[in-house]
Amino acid sequence: MAKIGFIGTGIMGKPMAQNLQKAGHTLFLSQHHGPAPADLLEAGAIALDSPRDVAQEAEFIIVMVPDTPQVDDVLFRKDGVIEGVGAGKVVIDMSSISPSATKAFAEKIKATGAAYLDAPVSGGEVGAKAATLSIMVGGCPNAFERALPLFQTMGKNITRVGGNGDGQTAKVANQIIVALNIQAVAEALLFASKNGADPAKVREALMGGFAGSKILEVHGERMIKGTFDPGFRISLHQKDLNLALSGARELGLNLPNTANAQQVFSTCAALGGSNWDHSALIKGLEHMANFSIREE
């Protein structure tokens, strides 16, 4: 069993940490931003004062925080991870952040003798709890093989995409596809309902055909029922699409549908919905149409 530092026990991180704990691994948690979750501590996790302390104790250091600045802080603050790592240790960033920043972070960590993997995930809170996450990994093959048993405890579809930064690039691509699919389902259900059809029955009819998808199944039901508790917050999906659009500008690419989905998310945010689940994108479309598919 491994000694694992886990920094970031939020909506996604906590169930991921719990699955590692259930598999028999020893967890070290940093309390630099507040107390560690009591249930993790009761199950045997060890709370320490700083990311540096966690890195000193652990063989693998997993980071699962919201965005690039938070990863930067955890790794490179005065008492950060970089002060506690060295040869034989593996830093694994499972956050969804900038691919270009990831490459820079990796070089700094590798200069200490430690290995670095970027390993963002897809599957949401449901996948985190069920240990069925898709995990997209960038980094050297040896570090990947060492970390693979940990990934297999948290997920099912685990792919080493390439070198450092490639895991994050794959995650950004994932978030483009997810956003555009959510928008497609939302527009279809809005069209059907405005035209007088029962959106629940339309969804049922479409599930068995070529339009069927996990998003139609799960998020389509959320849209119809109006259950928009996260899940995966709109603000986080906006962050991911910002990474896509800024990366596209650097590459000289035009991603018009991604930009459009971001605008609809921005409408939701303007309505006070930054913390809604991303399936609530339909509320932005409903606002623009002055029509709801639900009785509200």
Active site members: 171
Q: How far is CA 244 from CA 105, 157, 238, 239, 284, in A?
A: 19, 23, 10, 9, 21
CB 51 within 8 A of CB 71: no
Give just the sign of the alpha carbon dihedral 210, 211, 213, 218.
Answer: negative
CB 3 within 8 A of CB 45: no
Q: Could you tell me which residues come within 8 angstroms of residue 51 by beta carbon, excluding any fewer than 6 positions away?
A: 5, 7, 30, 32, 61, 74, 75, 77, 79, 80, 81, 84
CA angle 80, 83, 86 (to 5 degrees): 130
CA angle 86, 91, 95 (to 5 degrees): 155
How many alpha carbons lie under 13 Å from residue 130 in its C-beta half-sphere?
11
Cα separation, 248 vs 200, whole angstroms: 37
Q: How many residues does the chain have?
A: 296
